[in-house]
């Protein structure tokens, strides 16, 4: 007689990888999840629509095209031809109808010659060589120092590149990863997933979120004394969520520490084109490193990985997952491991690769699309700048909120000076004070933001992170009205 068969129980969380369970990514955390529920409620007739607002404003994520930013015409013309090559047979008709520009066909043909038969085929692991050559030319021109296509990896956005590197470099809890606080939560989440130790270095809010090299070195020395080897330093420039842009000197000081202690530098430069003021300049970490190597001894062993993405800038093509990583100074054996890891995912999305080409090589003067493309880029850039400034000015007038002027990126990270009564109410609801503020803001106005606690903040301070991408100005007025009422309600 066979024994009675008892079906196996379902998996519980105890059966899963604890590091993944513990990883947190606030940008898709409880407040944005709540926002999606409210949006569903607004859009679904069967559910009670009784909410004090008509739409949800996603100021929680740097996702420009979700917020009505139009894709650049030239890029989409080229991508559409790559996706549907039969359009080439209709080239003359499409040009004379005004739907396509001539140079879009030229670019698509050039890309076809580099991609091979179809954009639907896998590419080599590092990405299409011709596109990597174009990226290397862009970097050489930007920095005034040569770049080699063999050092470029085309990746699914910058996120994939960051996780490749961190997964390789994090051995166990004795690997330390220096990250700025506040930071973009990809980094805290990855450190948790790869079971390494987070080594926070705090940015100075009072001086517009500046980076203090002495503070970094102090953290490094303490960490070594505690048996944790600082292996990587993450630098986000321009900063998310702070909008701060690093000076040449500050970057040079970071490299001095990297050279002294043998720390790999991971430069997240996805906002390099989001700079809003003439007196603020973006210096790539690659350029600073090459300058130091040219002018000084002691920097030859520094290892750098620089990331860029098609998701930001004026491109905003977040969903297409284009990006690249340039690696500098790694040994051949380490490069081979990076390549092997990338090969396990076969290749990055090939449309994303084509978009990288379009990002780094826009239409030039004299080409058909030049004027339109230039104007579209300028309009998007100016809109962001104006909205960022309006939001900053609005916050600057309000009681109980302190905001630094954004130099770059797409975000503001104002401090909330919350009254005691609001702190008590948050506690009663079992929420952190900044979560409480963001939840109230969402439930009252439909504006979805992310609490500062998701990015890290100095102890005892509370912040809110907002993008300045949402169109129009009404949401900014709504936020102002909400904030004043909130303060009136909870003022001590």
Ligand X SMILES: Cc1ncc(COP(=O)(O)O)c(C=O)c1O
Q: Which of residues 346-375 bind ligand X (CB under 6 A)?
A: none
How many Å is the Cα radius of gyration of the chain? 24
* Residue placing its CB nearer to ligand X in the complex, 291 or 457: 457
Binding mask 185-204 for ligand X (x = CB under 6 A): -x------------------
The 62-91 site mask, x for binding ligand X (CB under 6 A), equals: x-----------------------------
User: Edge-to-edge, what's the strand order for the sheet holding 450-451?
Assistant: 411-412, 464-467, 450-451
CB of 391 to ligand X, least distance (A): 18
Binding-site string for ligand X from residue 409 to residue 448, where x marks contact by CB under 6 A and - marks none: ----------------------------------------
Residues in the chain: 492
Query: Which residue stretch of 16-24, 155-163, 166-174, 393-401 sits at the interface with ligand X (rule: CB under 6 A)?
Result: 155-163
Binding of ligand X by 223 (CB under 6 A): no
Instruction: Give the residue carrying structure tokens 């109808």.
Output: 97
Q: Which of 94, 158, 228, 265 binds ligand X (CB under 6 A)?
A: 158
Q: Distance between CA atoms of 373 and 104, rounded to whole angstroms? A: 12
Give the residue with the Cβ less far from ligand X, 184 or 490: 184
The least CB distance from residue 83 to ligand X, in Å, is 20
Residue with the closest Cβ to ligand X?
A: 157
Site for ligand X in 299-318 (CB under 6 A): 309, 311, 318
DSSP string, 412-464: E-PEE---HHHHHHHHHTT--HHHHHHHHHHHHH-EE-EEGGGT---TT--BE
Q: Are 318 and 65 in contact, with CB atoms under 8 Å apart?
A: yes
Q: Give, for 236, the enclosing helix (H) or strand (E).
A: strand 229-236
Distance CA 257, CA 445 (A): 46
Distance CA 382, CA 182 (A): 26
Among 29, 157, 230, 362, binds ligand X (CB under 6 A): 157
Among 58, 100, 105, 184, binds ligand X (CB under 6 A): 184
State which of residues 103, 268, 373, 478 lies at the interface with ligand X (CB under 6 A).
268
Q: How far is the CB of 451 from ligand X (least distance, A)?
A: 16
176: part of which helix (H) or strand (E)? strand 175-181
Options 154-162, 204-212, 431-439, 445-453: segment touching ligand X (CB under 6 A):
154-162
Q: Which residues contact 26 (CB under 8 A, 6 or more apart)?
A: 185, 450, 451, 453, 454, 455
Interacting stretch for ligand X, rule CB under 6 A, among 113-121, 153-161, 191-199, 420-428? 153-161
Please identify, using beta-carbon distances, which residue of 189 and 431 lies nearer to ligand X: 189
Using CB under 6 A, count the residues that bind ligand X: 14
Token digits of residue 260: 């002294």
Contact string 373-402 vs ligand X (x = CB under 6 A): ------------------------------
> Which 321-340 positions form the footprint of ligand X (CB under 6 A)?
323
Rounded to whole angstroms, the Cα distance separating 413 from 404 reads 8
Burial class, 332, CB count within 10 angstroms (exposed 0-12 / middle 13-18 / buried 19+): exposed
Closest distance to ligand X from the beta carbon of 389 (Å) = 20
Q: Kindly report the number of other CB atoms within 10 A of residue 146's CB atom.
A: 10
Contact flags string 37-66 toward ligand X, x per CB under 6 A: -------------------------x----
* The binder of ligand X chosen from 159, 163, 369, 445 (CB under 6 A): 159
Residues 224-263 touching ligand X, rule: CB under 6 A, are 236, 240
Continuous segment of H or E residues that includes residue 31: helix 30-43
* In the complex, minimum distance from the CB of residue 308 to ligand X, in angstroms, rounded to a whole number: 8
- Tell me how far, at minimum, the Cβ of 160 lies from ligand X, in Å: 7
Closer residue to ligand X, CB minimum distance, 240 or 407: 240
Residue with Cβ nearer ligand X (285 or 292): 285
Q: Is 432 exposed, middle or buried (0-12, 13-18, 19+ CB in 10 A)?
A: middle
Contact predicate 405/233, CB 8 Å: no
Interatomic CA distance for residues 306 and 153, integer angstroms: 10
- Looking only at the bridges linking them, the beta strands covering 175-181 and 229-236 are parallel
| Bridge partners, 401 (sequence order) | 416
Closest to 147 measured CA to CA, from 137, 162, 134, 160: 137
CA distance 271 to 78: 24
Contact residues for ligand X (CB under 6 A)?
62, 157-159, 184, 186, 236, 240, 268, 270, 309, 311, 318, 323
């Amino acid at each position: 007689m066979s024994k009675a068969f008892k079906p196996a129980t379902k998996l519980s969380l105890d059966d899963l990888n604890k590091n993944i369970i513990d990883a947190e990514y606030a940008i898709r955390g409880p407040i944005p999840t709540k926002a999606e529920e409210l949006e569903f409620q607004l859009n679904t007739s069967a559910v009670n629509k009784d909410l004090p607002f008509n739409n949800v404003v996603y100021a929680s994520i740097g996702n420009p095209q979700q917020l009505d930013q139009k894709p650049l015409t030239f890029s989409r013309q080229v991508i559409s031809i790559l996706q549907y090559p039969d359009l080439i047979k209709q080239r003359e008709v499409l040009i004379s109808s005004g739907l396509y520009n001539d140079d879009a066909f030229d670019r698509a043909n050039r890309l076809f010659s580099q991609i091979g038969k179809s954009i639907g085929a896998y590419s080599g692991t590092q990405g299409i060589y011709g596109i990597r050559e174009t990226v290397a030319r862009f970097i050489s021109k930007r920095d005034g120092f040569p770049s080699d296509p063999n050092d470029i990896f085309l990746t699914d956005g910058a996120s994939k590149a960051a996780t490749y590197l961190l997964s390789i470099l994090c051995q166990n809890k004795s690997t330390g990863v220096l990250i700025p606080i506040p930071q973009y939560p990809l980094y805290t989440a990855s450190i948790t997933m790869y079971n390494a130790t987070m080594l926070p270095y705090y940015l100075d809010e009072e001086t517009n979120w500046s980076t203090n090299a002495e503070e970094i070195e102090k953290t490094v020395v303490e960490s070594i004394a505690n048996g944790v080897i600082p292996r990587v330093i993450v630098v986000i420039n321009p900063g998310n969520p702070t909008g701060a842009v690093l000076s040449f000197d500050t970057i040079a000081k970071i490299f001095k520490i990297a050279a002294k202690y043998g720390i790999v530098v991971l430069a997240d430069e996805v906002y390099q084109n989001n700079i809003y003021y003439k007196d603020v300049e973006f210096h790539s970490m690659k350029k600073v490193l090459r300058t130091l190597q040219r002018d000084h001894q002691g920097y030859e062993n520094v290892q750098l990985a620089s990331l860029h993405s098609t998701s930001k800038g004026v491109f905003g093509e977040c969903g297409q997952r284009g990006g690249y990583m340039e690696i500098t100074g790694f040994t051949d054996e380490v490069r081979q491991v990076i390549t092997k890891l990338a090969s396990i995912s076969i290749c990055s999305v090939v449309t994303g690769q084509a978009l990288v080409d379009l990002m780094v090589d826009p239409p030039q003067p004299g080409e058909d699309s030049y004027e339109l493309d230039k104007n579209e880029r300028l309009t998007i850039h100016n809109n962001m700048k104006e909205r960022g400034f309006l939001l900053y000015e609005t916050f600057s007038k309000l009681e109980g909120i302190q905001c630094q002027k954004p130099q770059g990126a797409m975000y503001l990270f104002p401090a909330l000076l919350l009254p005691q009564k609001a702190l008590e109410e948050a506690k009663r609801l079992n929420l952190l004070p900044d979560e409480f503020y963001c939840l109230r803001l969402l439930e009252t106005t439909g504006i979805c933001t992310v609490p500062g606690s998701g990015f890290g903040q100095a102890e005892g301070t509370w912040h809110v992170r907002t993008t300045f991408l949402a169109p129009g100005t009404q949401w900014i007025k709504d936020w102002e009205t909400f904030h004043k009422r909130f303060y009136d309600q909870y003022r001590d």
